[in-house]
Amino acid sequence: MRVRIPGFTGAFSIRRQLIVGVALVQLLLMSILVIDLTARQRSFLTERAKERVLFQVNALATSSLPLVIVDDVEGLTEIVDAFSRDRTIRYAMLTDTDGKVLSHSDHTKTGQQLEDAKSLEVMKSSSGPQLLFQSPSTVQATAPITVRGRIIGWAWLGIDRSGDQQYLDYVTRAGLIYTLCAVVLGTVFAIALGNTITRPLRSLLLGAKRLSRDRLDLPVPVTSNNEVGVVARAFNTAMERLSQQREALKNEIAERKRAEEALQRANASLARSNQELEQFAYACSHDLQEPLRTVKNFTSLLGRRYKTKLGNEADEFIGYIVDGAERMETLIRDLLAYSRAGRSDKEAALVDCQRALKTALSNLRGATESSGASVTSDELPRIMADDVEMVQIFQNLIGNAIKYRGERTPNVHVTASKIDGAWLFEVRDNGLGIPAQAHEQIFGVFKRLHGRELPGSGIGLATCARIVARRGGRIWVESEVGVGSKFKFTMPEASPAASEQAALVQS
Ligand code: ADP
């Protein structure tokens, strides 16, 4: 069965080329053979006819010699008739040296005179037997009848060559039939060979088409053990491998999808519980503030009113309670700030960092004045953030710089520079410094490097990290113990549209 390949017309198929090619080659070769054979046959027959006519004319001359000598016309007629019995002899003739016909196979011509120029010329020459005329249908020759070197007459003979021509026609016809047979046989052979070669090729082609349409499940039939068979087998192996790889890839994708879905579910659940936890922490710290304030206020009142009345020990205990309540208040306030920093309901707006720094410094006035700290800054930009949060960051970092100053008078400098579409802020101090191994851990909640001698909750830096991360920035510290620290953080740049709007509002 012929395999139909869509888009393949077969006009220049290998099969067609093979068939046409073999037929043409056969035709060409056989034609050359037939033409050559016929030409050789023709020249062979011509040579043979020439030899025969010369031999026969010589025989006629020799056998008629005695009768010419005695001038026996009847005898000569008998000899001529005897020669004429051979059907291939067209005519036989004997003449005297003047061209008078002594005897002729056509008796009516006996006694006539030869008059054609060629015959007369031949008779003048005294040479031996010679050819007079030759054509595909006849050959004629003449030979002198000689006695002791003297010519006494001439024998003339014409041979009919139509037999030769018939034979040549027969040879040509046979040659043409053989040519036809060879072409037909060659074509049949080419068709068979073409089918043997092209059928598996067509199967391969079909396989390749299927492959291009993503059908890897149908193998190409292997119909032979030759090179095409080897290619078909290799093709099938490649398709099988491809199919296996695709299956493996499918499984892997499905596996990944499942893992991704599980991760998404886990993330969503984590986000939910984080949110719940944040709400819980916020609610706790918010609601704890009120009773704690009551405890602190009334304990302070108790301490003031009943000072010395309850005894020294009671005064000391009341002092501890007030101190504890105050620390707890700080802790709760900081926790509240931390949980607020994680809430994502605050939209970013244009913030003037210079103004945020000013607010932070005014909040820190007590600490600044008591420590004699000098806080300076370069010009700070406007950025996309939340103003309360920016105040929080500056307040935490500058507050820490003053708090962890050591023996030196604090010197704090705030700068901002542009890097890759963001602002890089730096708060530099000349304080105690932080050991390298603690550079990361100090940004975690409740991570402190100092004891009670320096008050703090261990939440300030964690709050800063949270605010910065939520705005897409990063915070880190570069520090050397005994030299000072550089707290650095990045914040997104304000879009040109937002800056323009802010400028309009200000004007
Ligand atoms: P705290 O309320 O204790 O200051 P922070 O989260 O603000 O909490 O800081 C965490 C710890 O990092 C601090 O306890 C302190 O040991 C260290 N630290 C922070 N800032 C500085 C600084 N500028 N110089 C030296 N150490 C610092």
Q: What is the pLDDT of residues 139-148, one digit of tens each?
A: 999 999 999 8
The answer to whether 36 and 124 are in contact (CB under 8 A) is no
Distance from the CA of 189 to the center of ligand 1, in angstroms? Answer: 98
- Say whether pLDDT at 397 is over 90: yes
* DSSP SS3 for 235: helix
Distance from the CA of 394 to the center of ligand 1, in angstroms? Answer: 13
Please indicate, yes or no, whether the overall pTM of this predicted structure exceeds 0.75. no
Return the best residue to mutate from 371, 442, 485 for the ligand 1 pocket (most ligand atoms within 8 A of CB): 442
Q: Which residues pair with 422 in a beta bridge?
A: 419, 492
- Residue with token string 């009670």: 452
* Per-residue confidence band for 115, with pLDDT thresholds at 50, 70 and 90: confident
pLDDT tens figures, 424-478: 999 999 999 999 999 999 999 888 888 878 888 899 999 999 999 988 899 999 9
Nearest residue (by CA) to ligand 1, atom 20, is: 400
Return the best residue to mutate from 330, 407, 448, 478 for the ligand 1 pocket (most ligand atoms within 8 A of CB): 448
* Burial (CB count <10 Å: 0-12, 13-18, 19+), residue 434: buried
The answer to whether 382 and 353 are in contact (CB under 8 A) is yes
Q: Which residues pair with 155 in a beta bridge?
A: 94, 143
pLDDT tens figures, 298-357: 999 998 898 888 888 888 999 899 888 888 888 888 888 887 776 656 678 889 999 999
Q: Which domains does the chain have, with CATH numbers?
A: 14-28+185-340 (no CATH), 39-165 (3.30.450.20), 349-506 (3.30.565.10)
Cα distance from N-terminal residue to C-terminal residue, the chain: 89
Distance from the CA of 420 to the center of ligand 1, in angstroms? Answer: 29
* Per-residue confidence band for 421, with pLDDT thresholds at 50, 70 and 90: confident
Ligand 1 contacts (CB < 6 A) are 396, 400-401, 404, 429, 431-432, 434, 442, 447-450, 456-462, 485
Atom of ligand 1 nearest to the CA of 401: 23
- Residue with token string 């700068």: 415
Atom of ligand 1 nearest to the CA of 487: 23
Mean pLDDT on 161-188? 90
E strand or H helix at 159: strand 150-160
* Per-residue confidence band for 209, with pLDDT thresholds at 50, 70 and 90: confident
pLDDT of residue 405: 93
Return the best residue to mutate from 400, 402, 427, 459 for the ligand 1 pocket (most ligand atoms within 8 A of CB): 400
